[in-house]
Amino acid sequence: MNKRCKQCRELKSIFMFARTTDSYGKIKYLTLCKACKSLNVRTKRKEKKELDFVSVYDPTEHAADAFKDDPRAEKEHDYGKVSRVATYFPKGGLND
């Protein structure tokens, strides 16, 4: 008996698919073949390993003095909230 894999779209033997049993005791075969399923697992593990490598805590980056302001920015003073007022155009247009 043959079955088509959903990922690689190849017609393979039913024994190339993993089996599960439903709640009624009937044997069901998964939609992905074992090769495609193992490839997916391998890529997920590789991505997780790269993500874990990136998310390692770096004490120099998270130090209190890691990011200093620009010396020119220290002289600037920001007072209160700045709000943008939209430009008003008369109803007739700009050339009236």
47-51, 81-85, 92-96 — which is least confidently predicted? 92-96
The Cα–Cα gap between 14 and 31 comes to 10
**pLDDT score of 23:** 93
For residue 2, pLDDT over 90 is answered with yes
For residue 58, pLDDT over 80 is answered with no
The Cα–Cα gap between 88 and 52 comes to 52
For residue 96, pLDDT over 60 is answered with no
Closest Cα partner for 34 from 13, 50, 52, 62?
Answer: 13
Q: What is the pTM of this model?
A: 0.50
